[in-house]
Amino acid sequence: MRALKRILHIEDVPSIQIVTRIALERIGGFEVLSCASAQAALAEVRAFAPDLILLDVMLPQMDGIELLRQLAGLVDLQQTPVVLLTGHLERERLTELQQMGVREVLQKPFDPLQLTAQLRAIWEAEHE
């Protein structure tokens, strides 16, 4: 099984972005690229080549769902799992999102000390 190493994190709230990145880098040992907007993520995703995408739904200018649609044209979301980290998601959209590549939805507020273990479990379930 290929190891989980590179995570693209899209989050517009600076404090959440910092806490998440510190948790993923220091606890998980991951290489993390944090983007504050959908546009930044679209510009960086190919060059960064993430193993996993950690995505907030509520973003300025373009929400996470539209970003997911556009990312699907740039990377294979069946091979690059997407995990939503959000405080707001309409549950009836979950089936549609899973068809687009979303593997799991983690709720905000979240425990930064548990985030690495949660993402590793999702990764391992994906690669069994």
- Over residues 71-98, the pLDDT tens digits come to 999 999 989 999 999 877 777 778 888 8
Using alpha carbons, select from 95, 93, 111, 81 the residue that is nearest to residue 57. 93
Instruction: Give domain status of residue 1, yes or no.
Output: no
Query: Is residue 48 included in any domain, yes or no?
Result: yes
β-strand 82-86 against 31-35: which pairing, if any?
unpaired
* Token pair belonging to 87: 């405080």
Asked whether residue 58 is domain-assigned, the answer is yes
41: containing domain: 6-123
Q: Are 97 and 119 in contact (CB under 8 A)?
A: no
- pLDDT at position 103: 94
For residue 114, being part of any structural domain is answered with yes
- CATH number at 87 reads 3.40.50.2300
pLDDT of residue 86: 84
DSSP 8-state secondary structure symbol assigned to residue 127 = T
Number of domains in the chain: 1
Instruction: Compute the residue count for the chain.
Output: 128
Tell me the pTM.
Answer: 0.94
- pLDDT, residue 11, reads 96
| Lowest mean per-residue pLDDT among 7-16, 66-75, 92-101 | 92-101
Give me the pLDDT at residue 120, please: 97
- pLDDT of 65 higher than 90: no
| In-domain check, residue 26 | yes
Q: What is the 3-state secondary structure (H, E, C) of 41-94?
A: HHHHHHHHCCCEEEECCCCCCCCHHHHHHHHCCCCCCCCCCEEEEECCCCHHHH
- Residue with the bigger pLDDT between 17 and 87: it is 17
pLDDT at residue 82 in the model: 96
Q: Is residue 128 in some structural domain?
A: no
Q: Quick check: is 22 in a domain?
A: yes
CB 53 within 8 A of CB 10: yes
